[in-house]
Structures are given as C-alpha cells and as structure tokens.
Chains A and B, each alone.
Chain A
C-alpha cells in the first residue's frame, strides 16, 4: 500500500475522531457554562428560599418548586400521549400498512413534527384552549392539559419517525424466520421485530420525550404561566408554569450578573440535570438490552 494512502487514512481518521470528541466537548461546555452562571445563585439565595413555593423574582421570591412541578406534570402528560400513539403508529406504518400507504403516511406524520411550536401554540390559543374550556367546563382553557396535548402532538412524529426507521432496519430474515416457524404476523411483530428494534425504539421515545421537556413556545402560549405548585391530579386542569417558559419570558430582562440572572441559569442547570438523569437511565437500559441481545445471537 502506498504511503500517501496510509497517511491520508491516518489524517482522516484523526479528523473524524476530533469531530466526535467535539460533541462531548459541547455538552461539557454547556454544562460548565450553566454551572458557572448558575451556581452563584446558591450563594446569593438561601436554599430555603429556593425551595419556597412562591416564584416572584421582582420581589426576591425565588421559589423554584412550582416551576419544576409544572414542567414535570406537562412532560408526564405528553409522554403518556406520545409513547403509545407514537409506537403504535410506527408499528402500523412499518409492519401493517401496505407499501403505498406507508409512502404517504410516513411523510405525513413527519409533517406534524415539522410544525413549529409557535404555530401549534397559536392554534392552541385560538382554538384548542377555548374548546377545552367549554368541553370540560374549566375556569380557563390555558392549562397543563392543553400543554400536554399539544406537546404530545409535537413529540409523536419524532417517536414515529425514528421508531419506524428502527423497525424497518430489522432484517427481513428475522421476520421470515418467525413466519417459517409458524408465527402469525402479530406474534412476529410483538415478539421478534419490536424486541429486535428495541434500542432504536427506545432512542425514539427518548428523543420524543426530550422534545417535550424542552418545548418552550407552545407551553408559554397555552399553559397560563401561573407559578402554582402542581402536585394533585386536578393541577393537570389548571394553569401551570414551566421552567422553560420562565427562562424564555424572563431572560431578556435580567441585567447581566444580577441575582435573577443567576437564578435563571440555575433553572437551566436543573433542566439540564433532569434530562441528563433521564438519558442516563434510558441509556443503561438500552445498553443492557444490547448486551443481552448480543449474547443471545452469538
């Protein structure tokens, strides 16, 4: 092999490696930055005050619990909608629908994913929230439920799209093997194809839920932004305030370096840590599943 080829190979390999390491660099950078701007909040505001239940920053009330509860309740609601509908639709498109329908359905579902959150928020204010108010006889239609509904809608296409790709990537041989052994198509889907695509499907769910937690504009427009502690089931049908909407609404007005500024970065840090926790948990599940699959197949 001529020298220039090996040398070129070497350079390219290193270049690609560098690109990859930059990904982890960005995560570290973001984390470091959030830490640098967010930790001073712990010094400036006592922990007691942060775990207060009132959030009113212009009068020095920095209780972040209502914000955390708001984000959690909305994400939970969105996940409850997105996971079954997303995976179900993915299974339908990948395994059951005839070829021609698949070519129409898949891009159609992805369309909704491309619908910007602002558009959904604006439809939410104009149509969904008044409708929900009259349908469920609520004081106002700007509630956590409205947010969850729309967020579920935003997350579903991501789940469908990635899960469908994962299901489709399962080699035909797996299915054919199952059919040859006499399994019905549904048994094949449920017991062979889905488990084989498990890591891809889990990635799909995580990407979808990640999308939901991180949504800002839709929740800012339809959840009412009232900083109430949302712990009861009834809270689902009252206004809540999420961490994301808080940052978006208040970031513009804080003076660089003020206490409010640090607290907002602190909230950003909390958001980051929550998604980190969820992802690590999911990653370890995927990892263990992969290891098991490898052991079985080898």
Chain B
C-alpha cells in the first residue's frame, strides 16, 4: 500500500490536494452565504434609532440598545475574571510545571472544563452564584458563570502559544543572567502574545454569543432601564434574539435579522482585531 502511494506520489498529491481543497471550499461557502444572507435580510433594519433606542410596542419596534449594552457589560465582566486567571494558569503550565502526576491532572481538568456543556455552567452558576452566594439574577452572576466557561479556552490556547516559543529563546535569556520570571515576562510572553490574544478574543467572542449560561443567571426579557450595578439583571443580544424569534407573535422578521446582524457585527469586530494582531505577529516572527 505504501509502495503504491510512494510510486504514484504525484497523483496522490493531486488527489490529496483536491480533497482538502474541496473540504475548504465546502466549509467556506456556507459561512459566506450565511453572513451575506443575514446582511441582506437584516441590513434594512439598521439605523441610528435601532442601535440607540429602547424597544417599544412589545419589542416589535424601536431599538435594541439595552441588549447591546448588556452584552458589552457581560463581555467586560467575563474578561475581568477570566483573562488574568487564564493567562497566569497557562504560564504556570507551560513554564513552571514539571511533568508530575498533579500537573497532568490539572491539564486533564482544564480540558474537561472545555468539554462541559454551556448549560451545565448555567446550572452551576444558578446554584452557586445566584442562589448560594445570593447574587441573584445579575450581571455579576452571569459574568462569573461565563468566565468559568471561557477559562479553558484561554488556558489551552495560551499554553499552546507559550509552548510554541522555541526553547532557545529561554535558554539564551537564562544564560545571560535573567531570572525565570524575567525571561517569561520580557521574552516568552512577548513572543507568545499574539497567540494568547487570539485565544482570549476567541474565548470572549464565545462568551458574548452564549445564551444558555445566562438564561438562569442574568438575562431578562424586558427591563425598563439600563442596568446600573453589577447586581442588576440585564438584557443581552443572544437572549434577545432567542426571545424575539421564538416568543413574540407578529415579530417583524426584519427586526430579528437586524438583531442577528448586530450580534454578528459585534463578534466580527472582535474577530477583525484578533486577525490583525495575528497576521502582524506572524509577519514579524523570527522562527
């Protein structure tokens, strides 16, 4: 079998290339058409009033400002808790930890956190933050829940990024007299930063778009004013879209698509930032 592949390796290459190209094409086409479709259907709904106004008439008219603000608050809240903790944990795993049973356990624990369904986080958040710690249905409870959900993504991608920095960098730094932390902070972290940042932004992007964890911990259908404290409940874009597409009768389809579009743009801009960071870093990479 191997000999067959070896003798016909150019044909195999053509076959392999076409297969893989086909997969890429079949992956990209649905994405592009989905986005264009939402743009087409939702574009007409977008206006300054839509983005800065409150909903009226049972959500059927007016704007979605409270949902937008709510999502921003939740994303910031998630970042505050998950980013420092996540990066620190990744640094420990990549730079300090010896390969003991305990560290292997920790790695398994982190990968497991990644696999836990978002609704289980919602359950956990409900039981611990909303009920046990008595935060109530609040931005605080929802952010904490989302942070725990985002942690594993940040940790695992940050760790990969740190590991990818060649050992040579560290060796040279130590041989020049740097301490471990100095090496990490000034050299390794700097080199790994684009990869880490990509992971952070991907994680936050997901947190911004999730509905299940905030269903029982922070989301509200209709609030008369913007949230003013972390203990207030909030409207949020994903929950708002869910509600207006499934609960409200006679909901103008355009507003649904418009809301979907706003959510998409929110996420797209985070993506754009991540991409710019990543490509600029790759260009500058010396290894």
* Residues on A facing B (Cβ under 8 Å): 1, 5-6, 8-9, 12-13, 15-17, 19-24, 26-30, 33-34, 37, 84-86, 88-89, 91-93, 96-97, 103, 105-119, 121-123, 125, 153, 156, 160-162, 165-166, 168-169, 171, 184-187, 189-190, 200, 203, 206-207, 209-210, 213-217, 221, 243-244, 247-248, 251-252, 256, 264-265, 268, 271-272, 275-276, 278-280, 282-283, 287
* Residues on B facing A (Cβ under 8 Å): 9-10, 12-13, 16-17, 19-24, 26-28, 30-32, 34-35, 37-38, 84-85, 88-89, 91-93, 96-97, 104-124, 126-128, 131, 148, 151-153, 155-157, 160-161, 164, 166, 179-181, 195, 198, 202, 205-206, 208-212, 215-216, 237-239, 241-242, 245-246, 256, 260, 263-264, 267-268, 270-272, 274-275, 278-279, 282, 287
Task: Name B9's contact: one of A20, A184, A282 (CB within 8 Å).
Answer: A184
Q: Are the CB atoms of A275 and B112 closer together than 8 Å?
A: yes
Some 29 contacts from A to B, beta carbons below 8 A apart, are: A5-B179, A19-B92, A20-B92, A26-B151, A29-B124, A30-B121, A33-B124, A34-B124, A93-B24, A109-B31, A110-B271, A110-B275, A111-B267, A116-B238, A116-B263, A121-B242, A122-B242, A160-B27, A165-B160, A165-B195, A169-B164, A171-B166, A184-B12, A203-B111, A207-B156, A247-B123, A264-B123, A265-B127, A279-B111
How far apart sit A281 and B271, CA to CA, in the bound complex (Å)? 32
Determine chain A's interface SS by DSSP, over half rule. Answer: helix
Known: A24-B106, A214-B120. A9 touches B92 (CB 8 A): no
Closest-by-CB residue of A relative to B97 is: A20
Q: Are the CB atoms of B88 and A20 closer together than 8 Å?
A: yes
Closest-by-CB residue of B relative to A166 is: B160
Q: Are the CB atoms of A111 and B268 closer together than 8 Å?
A: yes
Q: Are the CB atoms of A17 and B96 closer together than 8 Å?
A: yes
Q: Are the CB atoms of A23 and B123 closer together than 8 Å?
A: no
Instruction: List B contacts of A111 (CB < 8 A).
Output: 31, 35, 267-268, 271
The listed residue with most B CB atoms (<10 A of its CB), out of A12, A20, A215, A247, is A20
How far apart sit A28 and B34, CA to CA, in the bound complex (Å)? 39
Task: Name A96's contact: one of B17, B111, B117, B270 (CB within 8 Å).
Answer: B17
Closest-by-CB residue of A relative to B91 is: A16
Q: Are the CB atoms of A248 and B215 closer together than 8 Å?
A: yes
Q: Are the CB atoms of B19 and A88 closer together than 8 Å?
A: yes
Q: Are the CB atoms of B23 and A119 closer together than 8 Å?
A: no
B150 to chain A, nearest CB (A): 12
Determine chain B's interface SS by DSSP, over half rule. Answer: helix
Task: Name B21's contact: one of A5, A92, A160, A265 (CB within 8 Å).
Answer: A92
Q: Are the CB atoms of A112 and B34 closer together than 8 Å?
A: yes
How far apart sit A141 and B256, CA to CA, in the bound complex (Å)? 21
How far apart sit A209 and B210, CA to CA, in the bound complex (Å)? 17
B281 to chain A, nearest CB (A): 11
B12 to chain A, nearest CB (A): 6
How far apart sit A173 and B157, CA to CA, in the bound complex (Å)? 23
How far apart sit A107 and B116, CA to CA, in the bound complex (Å)? 25
Instruction: List A contacts of B123 (CB < 8 A).
Output: 34, 247, 251, 264-265, 268
How far apart sit A119 and B246, CA to CA, in the bound complex (Å)? 12
Q: Are the CB atoms of A88 and B88 closer together than 8 Å?
A: no
A91 to chain B, nearest CB (A): 5
How far apart sit A19 and B91, CA to CA, in the bound complex (Å)? 10
How far apart sit A24 and B88, CA to CA, in the bound complex (Å)? 14
The list of the 9 closest CB pairs from A to B, nearest first, reads: A214-B117, A88-B23, A116-B209, A210-B115, A19-B88, A275-B115, A186-B13, A20-B92, A92-B24
A250 to chain B, nearest CB (A): 11
Known: A112-B34, A210-B114, A272-B116. A186 touches B17 (CB 8 A): yes
Instruction: List B contacts of A29 (CB < 8 A).
Output: 124, 128
Q: Are the CB atoms of A118 and B124 closer together than 8 Å?
A: no
How far apart sit A293 and B91, CA to CA, in the bound complex (Å)? 23
How far apart sit A162 and B116, CA to CA, in the bound complex (Å)? 18
Instruction: List A contacts of B37 (CB < 8 A).
Output: 123
Instruction: List A contacts of B264 (CB < 8 A).
Output: 114-115, 119
Known: A122-B256, A271-B120. A189 touches B16 (CB 8 A): yes
Q: Are the CB atoms of B116 and A214 closer together than 8 Å?
A: yes
A290 to chain B, nearest CB (A): 10
